């Protein structure tokens, strides 16, 4: 009897524990999975109606129109007729897992002190068990680039997948990018020092750019030497010069963007990406000619200036794309972490304001993967790529259609439950029980 | 000559010492000067309309004794001949702090100060009607001289500090006399403003609406106090009562505040004289309707330095237009017969006054109106009509003697006489030799420009294009001019000397050459050819053509407000938001701003037909929680601010109004922020872009107030020292205030009842006459507020945000409260940890009236998308989801009989979408409010082109202005803030 009670208590503990802990990461894919009959949105602009998709050993073994193949359906079969399959959506320039509750300082790990911090790495602070991270999955957002904030050189980002026990499990590409906050050629007065908060020309702009340039020159000189002394920031620059670590420059102004192009040339940087790029449109040609892609600022933003088109942020990605720039959408800004799950709807909004829908999908899938340098494995439904994809009841770029039945990361079927769905179910049940009382 | 002048000076000052006959005298015998001074042969501008050519006037003991074509000259007269000169009344400035020391700023403290610092005065330090200019005044000789030079004789000065600032005094700027002589009226006026005193750190009010409420309460309290109802002494209220009948001058610094001041004046039967902003032209009809006399600063924005195109891109159209249009402000005021006077406040009177005045005249202000604005209008305004500002028998002898038409650029003021005392500015005896000359010396012709003051001229000399060094001195009408030798390899000089006793177009004299030889020289004044003059004028007109004002006067404003139209929407998919659901292939007929028919194949009957085939027609979106179109959000100076109203601070010029229309929003509740448990009253608005603030208010909507709970009111995320600091305390705030409100209501019939605006509002809530929309997050506090309300016998109308509403939906239903929530916001602070996007669906299923709100100027542009998220989260039907942004919020605002659905008889607030309104791909093509299309996607694309064209034109004008040597200013852009209710700072 006594023993029974203990079991009961333990069982209750397990159940209640479960309902508050994070979802358990899925195990490695153990059998093939065949998705039959869905409209496959490949993420590269193409669609395959009535498709056949086979996932094997974490990879896409086949993606083809059902009618074009006679092969058998191996493993577990998912009937997805009338449904839609998409590659996993990627959240670039994100702070997911670095901050849990914006207003609670103890949960903030995004901004280290100091100005030139290439050695600061987001990955080791990334909380794989964040409740916000798990809330990405039910919307099809399955990967992210985790980026530190603040300073002139904020640090080094890494790319993770969103279903992991810890950061080591999560990592998709370690130390993928260096992040620079480019100086502004205009500046607001620091009101807390009693300065006029109006915007004026920044007298220190050239100096700030020079300082950044000097840092690159010094790092290069150091790396060419014997390196007797371990200079951590300079050492972290090595992969920047080799081209393995891309340089993400967070910048919006037209003049500043042109200066970034110059900076790229001066320092012989192989891979530079503009993040933000609000005023990139008039220099699109230059960006295209210099192979500089843009992670364009969140479309759900208000225009910067009163006189600008009300729909300018909605259509910016499209306009840049039309000019031949490689573009993807990033989501930094107000409430950026929780809002990252709205990435598909950002792309949908860009489509509403002029872009082809499949092109718009690229803005959050294949283009993002290309810009981040993970397109060999991620970003589209192609044979041989990672089986990171999801099945949606309808159009995933539309709020009404983005209802997921399955999501896979590297072939692992991940949980679509979250802290939020649990509360939903708990309280729905409460009221159903009340009704039946 | 010099000696003669000196003697005259001594004589005059002795003569004009004014009467203080009962003062003892120990330095000689007692004398009194009863001589007359008679001026003759002058062109006398006796007032702005009337001129006496070749007239005479006499003054004695500081006053004018006679004026006319010919007057009787008493025997004891000193006669001054003003042949060729003109005489004007000296000018008057009614908004000045002349002779008042700068108020000393209170030292910063460590914590917020909530209580008043003064004892024996009002409960708020910023109400200081007891301040008297006279007690702070001492004549500032240096400052007075600036005024003298600009032509001013009298100013009304005050202590520019605080909300009710106390009395001003009218003072003559008479040199060489005592204060006893100068003071014309030591209690001439009372000044008010919306700005707090710098001398106190008392927090309340932190916002413009708080200032407005405070003035109202102070007026009510003064009346109550005056009836002997107070037990305590309140020197401030006593002073306020004492100052009641004075001229009331309200200082503002922007156009919206001008109207706000006038609104308070209307409520209390006070007609303020309004110190304006110089932007009156932007809403001239409303300015005129205020019936106020305006005191307008003579200040115009400098052109921006737009050479850097990237920085120029940061300039708003509004700022560019201000530069372009502001110089025409005075002309517009005069044309619209708005009485106005000018102030030198905020400019350098000596340097900029005349330049700016002439600029205004260039832009169309008549000289008569300009002179009236400087003389008769201020005299009348300050109750001194006929005593100052005119040259008339009995008036003070305040006048200017000028070399000609004052409004001519070249004219010099010789003397500024105040109270019969002469202030010599430029000697009449000095010949004015300024001008451009051809100077012929030693066989060469130089170009000579003599400029500056006639008494101390400066020169510029050129031979061909080469600049030649030169130095001039001009004393007693003898000119000595030193020229560097044209041979620049040598340091040699040519000396010129000439006597020029009278103004002339050419003069000659002796030249001493470097070799010592003497010869003669000749200077002949160059004439501006008529062609040059014309060219110059045309150029100016071309470089600075005033662009038309729009409503509002920013990008996307209307040159002409769109008109109400009768419209038949043909063959639309109609989302009724009613039981009828979605009707395919249906027509909707709009007449006189109402929906009059819904059906198939309706006949237009003269209405404009819009083919809506393949399109969707819905009711306009209603946003229950918005903070756009506001000049301020929070009054955080007290933990209850029920006395303040968002209706006072509507900003109809916010571009977000237009952007919201472009997102299909037609009605919003502009809520107070969430700084306080008891916030401020709401403004429910129709987004009638281009209309005035008053015209946007949704008249038929009932009154609302914002309450707030949780982290913001207990100041969790910043340091605060105010009660409450916990949710426990929050309950007590409500209980305390409503207990007091109950007691207040029962005291209404008692003797000595004091009307309290805060309590009045709370009584309205208790009586169900004002509805509560409460910011709320977690279940404990939601439950608490319902229980408090029930205890006091009223209902909470709406919980807004209500992110844990799903946890207590059953209790909410029982209470009868509605919910207005975010679709998916969470994780931004601790209290939204359990916020879930399924919230709306659960509450809807339980049977609550549920709305999706924005609280954000960005999200409000696409509330259709936010509503659609409930289809995803919780599986709500599309029709139900659509109701959450139309009829449901309309129900929560108790305006569902007027808006929120497509139903016969309702106001025609409609949106035509290109697609299914809940689709992410949908965008509004037309948005109509009461039959007026305030947004139209085709018109928008035309406006974009116009804006581009106009910006280009204005940048071109500014570049030309800079090229012409006009002063420019670097581009600085005012900080813009996007507000939601967590924002505590005051925004303007």
Same domain assignment for residues A151 and A217: yes
CATH class of domain segment(s) B621-708+771-779+796-899: alpha beta
Tokens of B480: 């000595």
Torsion over CA: A217, A222, A223, A225 (sign): positive
> What pLDDT was estimated at residue B533?
54
Q: Are B230 and B222 in contact (CB under 8 A)?
A: no
Domain covering B561-619+901-930: architecture: Roll (2.30)
Give the nearest chain A residue to B555 (CA atoms).
A307
| pLDDT band at residue A145 using 50, 70 and 90 as cut-offs | very high
Q: How many CB pairs under 8 A join A and B?
A: 164
Same domain assignment for residues A115 and A243: yes
Judged against a pLDDT cut of 80, whether residue A428 lies above it is answered with yes
Q: Is A8 part of any domain?
A: no
Helix (H, G, I), strand (E, B) or coil at A35: strand
The answer to whether B842 contacts A431, with C-beta atoms less than 8 Å apart, is yes
Nearest to B913 by CA among B925, B928, B903: B925
The per-residue DSSP string of B199-250 comes to T--B----SHHHHHHHHHHHHHHHHHHHTT--SS--HHHHHHHHTTTSEEEE
> What pLDDT was estimated at residue B4?
47
> What pLDDT was estimated at residue B31?
76
Task: Decide which of B365 and A188 is more confident.
Answer: B365
Same domain assignment for residues A46 and A179: no
Judged against a pLDDT cut of 50, whether residue A16 lies above it is answered with no
Q: Are A2 and A28 in contact (CB under 8 A)?
A: no
Q: Is A84 part of any domain?
A: yes
Same domain assignment for residues A35 and A139: no
Same domain assignment for residues A335 and A432: no
Same domain assignment for residues A289 and A351: yes
**Nearest-angstrom CA–CA distance, A363 and B768:** 52
Same domain assignment for residues A233 and A340: yes
Distance from chain centroid for Cα A349: 18
Strands B818-821 and B798-801 turn out to be parallel
CATH of residue A277's domain is 3.20.20.140
Q: Is A302 on the interface with B (CB under 8 A)?
A: yes
Q: Which of A331, A348, A378 is the last residue of a domain?
A: A378
Residues B547-586 have pLDDT tens digits of 999 999 999 999 999 999 999 999 999 999 999 999 999 9
> What pLDDT was estimated at residue A291?
97
Give the nearest chain B residue to A185 (CA atoms).
B311
Residues A74-126 have pLDDT tens digits of 999 999 999 999 999 999 999 999 999 999 999 999 999 999 999 999 999 99
Q: Are B931 and B567 in contact (CB under 8 A)?
A: yes
Same domain assignment for residues A139 and A178: yes
Q: How far is A142 from chain B (nearest CA, A)?
A: 18
> What pLDDT was estimated at residue B531?
52
Judged against a pLDDT cut of 70, whether residue A315 lies above it is answered with yes
**Nearest-angstrom CA–CA distance, A331 and A92:** 8
What residues make up the domain containing A262?
90-378
Q: How many domains does chain A have?
A: 2
**Nearest-angstrom CA–CA distance, B687 and B705:** 20
Q: Are A110 and A150 in contact (CB under 8 A)?
A: yes
| Cis amide leading into B552 (omega within 30) | yes
| CA atoms within 13 Å, Cβ hemisphere of A242 | 10
Judged against a pLDDT cut of 60, whether residue A3 lies above it is answered with no
User: Which ranges in chain B are annotated with CATH 3.20.20.140?
Assistant: 621-708+771-779+796-899
Cross-chain CB nearest to A420 (options B838, B878, B970): B838
User: Which ranges in chain B are annotated with CATH 2.30.40.10?
Assistant: 561-619+901-930
Residues in chain B with CB shorter than 8 Å from the CB of A427 are 806-807, 809, 842
Same domain assignment for residues A373 and A259: yes
**Nearest-angstrom CA–CA distance, A111 and A233:** 16
Q: Which helix (H) or strand (E) holds A93?
A: strand A89-94
CATH class of domain segment(s) B435-528: mainly beta
Residues lower than pLDDT 50 in chain B:
1-18, 983-988
Q: How far is A52 from chain B (nearest CA, A)?
A: 26
**Nearest-angstrom CA–CA distance, B625 and B857:** 10
User: Which ranges in chain B are annotated with CATH 2.40.128.120?
Assistant: 435-528
Q: Is A15 part of any domain?
A: no
Q: How far is A167 from chain B (nearest CA, A)?
A: 21
Q: Is A127 part of any domain?
A: yes
Q: Is A345 on the interface with B (CB under 8 A)?
A: yes
Tokens of A127: 């909380």
Same domain assignment for residues A348 and A408: no
Residues in chain B with CB shorter than 8 Å from the CB of A428 are 838, 842, 845
Nearest to B287 by CA among B277, B298, B297: B277
> What pLDDT was estimated at residue B980?
58
| pLDDT band at residue A320 using 50, 70 and 90 as cut-offs | very high
Query: Which of the residues B872, B874, B927, B976 would you substitute to probe the A interface, choosing the one with the greatest number of A C-beta atoms within 10 Å?
Result: B872
CATH of residue A414's domain is 2.30.40.10
Q: Is A102 on the interface with B (CB under 8 A)?
A: yes
Same domain assignment for residues A266 and A201: yes
User: What ipTM was assigned to the predicted interfaces of this complex?
Assistant: 0.94
Query: Which of the residues A283, A302, A394, A403 would you substitute to probe the B interface, choosing the one with the greatest number of B C-beta atoms within 10 Å?
Result: A302
Same domain assignment for residues A371 and A342: yes
Residues A365-375 have pLDDT tens digits of 999 999 999 99
């Amino acid at each position: 009897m006594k023993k029974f009670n203990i079991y009961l208590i333990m069982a209750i503990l397990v159940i209640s524990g479960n309902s508050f802990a994070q979802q358990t990461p899925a195990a490695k894919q153990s059998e093939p999975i065949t998705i039959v009959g869905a409209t496959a949105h490949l993420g590269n602009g193409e669609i395959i109606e009535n498709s056949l998709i086979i996932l094997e050993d974490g990879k896409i073994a086949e993606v083809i129109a059902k009618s074009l193949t006679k092969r058998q359906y191996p493993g577990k079969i998912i009937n997805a007729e009338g449904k839609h399959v998409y590659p996993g959506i990627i959240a670039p320039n994100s702070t997911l897992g670095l901050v849990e509750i914006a207003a609670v300082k103890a949960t903030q790990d995004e901004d280290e002190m100091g100005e030139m911090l290439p050695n600061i790495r987001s990955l080791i602070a990334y909380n794989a068990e964040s409740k916000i991270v798990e809330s990405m999955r039910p919307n099809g957002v399955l990967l992210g680039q985790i980026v530190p904030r603040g300073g002139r050189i904020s640090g080094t980002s890494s790319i993770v997948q969103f279903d992991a026990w810890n950061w080591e499990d999560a990592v998709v590409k370690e130390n993928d990018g260096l992040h620079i906050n480019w100086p502004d050629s205009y500046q607001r007065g620091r009101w807390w020092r009693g300065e006029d908060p109006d915007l004026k020309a920044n007298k220190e702009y050239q100096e700030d750019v020079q300082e950044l340039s000097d840092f690159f020159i010094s790092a290069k000189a150091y790396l060419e030497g014997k390196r007797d002394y371990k200079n951590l920031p300079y050492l972290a620059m090595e992969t920047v010069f080799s081209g393995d670590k891309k340089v993400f420059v967070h910048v919006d102004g037209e003049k500043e963007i042109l200066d970034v192009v110059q900076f790229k040339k001066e320092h012989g940087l192989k891979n530079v990406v503009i993040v933000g790029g609000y005023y990139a449109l008039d220099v699109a040609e230059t960006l295209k000619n210099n192979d500089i892609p843009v992670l364009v600022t969140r479309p759900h933003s208000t225009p910067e200036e009163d006189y600008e088109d009300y729909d300018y942020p909605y259509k910016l990605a499209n306009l840049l794309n039309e000019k031949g720039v490689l573009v993807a959408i990033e989501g930094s800004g107000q409430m950026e972490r929780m809002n990252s799950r709205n990435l598909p709807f950002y792309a949908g909004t860009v489509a509403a304001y002029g872009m082809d829908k499949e092109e718009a999908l690229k803005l959050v899938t294949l283009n993002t993967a290309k810009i981040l340098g993970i397109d060999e494995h991620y970003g589209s439904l192609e044979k041989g790529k990672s089986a990171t994809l999801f099945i949606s009841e309808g159009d995933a770029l539309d709020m009404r259609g983005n209802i997921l039945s399955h999501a896979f990361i590297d072939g692992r079927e991940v949980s679509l439950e979250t802290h939020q769905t649990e509360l939903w179910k708990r309280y729905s049940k409460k009221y159903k029980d009340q009704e039946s009382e | 000559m010099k000696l003669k002048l000196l003697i005259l000076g001594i004589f005059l000052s002795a003569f004009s010492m004014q009467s203080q006959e009962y003062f003892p005298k120990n330095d000689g015998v007692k004398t009194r000067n009863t001589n007359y001074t008679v001026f003759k042969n002058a062109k006398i501008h006796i007032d702005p309309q009337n001129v006496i050519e070749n007239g005479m006037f006499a003054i004695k003991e500081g006053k004018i004794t006679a004026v006319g074509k010919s007057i009787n000259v008493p025997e004891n007269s000193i006669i001054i001949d003003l042949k060729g000169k003109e005489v004007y009344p000296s000018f008057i400035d009614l908004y000045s702090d002349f002779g008042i020391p700068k108020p000393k700023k209170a030292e910063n403290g460590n914590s917020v100060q909530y209580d008043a610092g003064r004892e024996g005065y009002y409960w708020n330090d910023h109400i200081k009607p007891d301040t008297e200019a006279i007690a702070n005044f001492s004549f500032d000789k240096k400052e007075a001289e600036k005024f003298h030079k600009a032509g001013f004789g009298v100013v009304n000065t005050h202590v520019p500090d605080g909300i009710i600032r106390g009395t001003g005094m009218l003072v003559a700027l008479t040199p060489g006399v005592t204060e006893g002589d100068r003071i014309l009226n030591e209690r001439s006026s009372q000044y008010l403003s919306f700005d707090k005193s710098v001398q106190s750190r008392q927090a309340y009010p932190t916002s413009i609406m708080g200032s407005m409420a405070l003035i109202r309460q102070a007026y009510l309290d003064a009346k109550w106090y005056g009836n002997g109802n107070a037990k305590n002494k309140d020197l401030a209220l006593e002073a306020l009562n004492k100052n009641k009948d004075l001229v009331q001058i309200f200082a503002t610094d922007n156009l919206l505040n001008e109207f706000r001041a006038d609104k308070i004046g209307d409520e209390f039967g006070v007609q303020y004289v309004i110190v304006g902003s110089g932007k009156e032209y932007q809403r001239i009809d409303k300015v005129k309707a205020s019936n106020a006399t305006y005191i307008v600063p003579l200040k115009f924005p400098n052109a921006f330095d737009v050479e850097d195109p990237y920085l120029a891109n940061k300039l708003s159209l509004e700022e560019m237009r201000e530069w372009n249009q502001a110089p025409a402000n005075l002309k517009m005021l005069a044309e619209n017969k708005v009485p106005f006077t000018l102030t030198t406040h905020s400019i350098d009177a000596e340097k900029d006054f005349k330049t700016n005045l002439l600029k205004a005249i260039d832009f169309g202000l008549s000289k008569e109106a300009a002179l009236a604005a400087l003389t008769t209008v201020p005299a009348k305004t300050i109750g001194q009509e006929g005593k100052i500002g005119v040259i008339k028998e009995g008036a003070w002898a305040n006048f200017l003697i000028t070399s000609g038409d004052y409004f001519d650029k070249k004219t010099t003021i010789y003397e500024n006489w105040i109270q019969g005392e002469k202030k010599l500015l430029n000697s009449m005896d000095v010949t004015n030799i300024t001008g451009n000359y051809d100077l012929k010396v030693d066989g060469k012709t130089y170009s000579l420009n003599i400029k500056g003051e006639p008494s101390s001229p400066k020169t510029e000399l050129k031979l061909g294009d080469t600049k030649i060094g030169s130095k001039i001195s001009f004393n007693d009408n003898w000119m000595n001019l030193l020229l560097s030798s044209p041979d620049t390899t040598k340091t040699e000089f040519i000396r010129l000397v000439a006597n020029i006793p009278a103004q002339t177009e050419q003069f000659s004299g002796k030249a001493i050459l470097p070799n010592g030889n003497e010869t003669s020289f000749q200077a002949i004044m160059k004439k501006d050819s008529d062609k040059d003059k014309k060219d110059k004028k045309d150029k100016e007109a071309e470089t600075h053509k005033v662009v038309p004002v729009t409503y509002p006067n920013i990008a996307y404003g209307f040159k002409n407000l769109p008109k109400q139209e009768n419209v038949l929407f043909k063959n639309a998919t109609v989302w009724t938001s009613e039981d009828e659901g979605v009707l395919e292939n249906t027509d909707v007929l709009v007449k006189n701003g109402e929906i009059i028919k819904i059906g198939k194949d309706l006949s237009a009957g003269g209405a404009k037909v819009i083919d809506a085939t393949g399109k969707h027609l819905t009711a306009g979106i209603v946003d229950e929680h918005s903070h756009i179109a506001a000049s301020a959000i929070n009054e955080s100076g007290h933990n209850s601010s029920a006395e303040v109203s968002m209706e006072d601070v509507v900003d109809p010029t916010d571009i977000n109004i237009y952007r919201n229309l472009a997102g299909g929003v037609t009605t919003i509740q502009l809520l107070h922020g969430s700084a306080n448990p008891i916030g401020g009253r709401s403004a429910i608005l129709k987004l009638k872009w281009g209309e005035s603030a008053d015209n946007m208010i949704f008249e038929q909507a009932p009154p609302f107030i914002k309450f707030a709970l949780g982290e913001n009111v207990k100041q969790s995320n910043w340091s605060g020292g105010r009660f409450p600091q916990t949710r426990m305390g929050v309950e007590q705030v409500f209980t305390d205030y409503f207990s007091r409100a109950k007691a207040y209501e029962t005291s209404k019939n008692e003797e000595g009842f004091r009307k309290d605006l805060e309590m009045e509002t709370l009584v309205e809530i208790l009586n169900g006459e004002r509805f509560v929309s409460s910011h709320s997050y977690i279940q404990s506090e939601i439950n608490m507020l319902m229980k408090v309300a029930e205890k006091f016998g009223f209902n909470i109308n709406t919980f807004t945000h209500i992110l844990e509403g799903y946890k207590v939906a059953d209790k909410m239903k029982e209470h009868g409260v509605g919910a207005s929530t975010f679709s998916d916001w969470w994780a931004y602070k601790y209290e939204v940890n359990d916020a879930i996007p399924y919230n709306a669906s659960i509450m809807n299923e339980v049977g609550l009236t549920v709305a999706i709100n924005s609280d954000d100027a960005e999200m409000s542009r696409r509330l259709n998308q936010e509503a659609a998220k409930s289809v995803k989260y919780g599986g709500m039907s599309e029709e139900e989801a659509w109701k959450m942004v139309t009829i449901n919020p309309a129900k929560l605002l108790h305006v569902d009989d007027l808006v929120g659905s497509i139903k016969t008889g309702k106001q025609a607030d409609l949106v035509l979408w290109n697609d299914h309104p809940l689709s992410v791909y949908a965008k509004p093509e037309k948005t109509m409010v009461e039959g007026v299309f305030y947004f139209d996607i085709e018109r928008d694309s035309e406006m974009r082109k116009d804006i581009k064209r106009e910006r280009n034109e204005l940048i071109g004008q500014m570049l030309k202005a800079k090229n012409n040597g006009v002063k420019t200013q670097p581009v600085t852009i005012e900080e813009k803030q996007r507000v939601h209710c967590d924002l505590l700072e005051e925004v303007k």
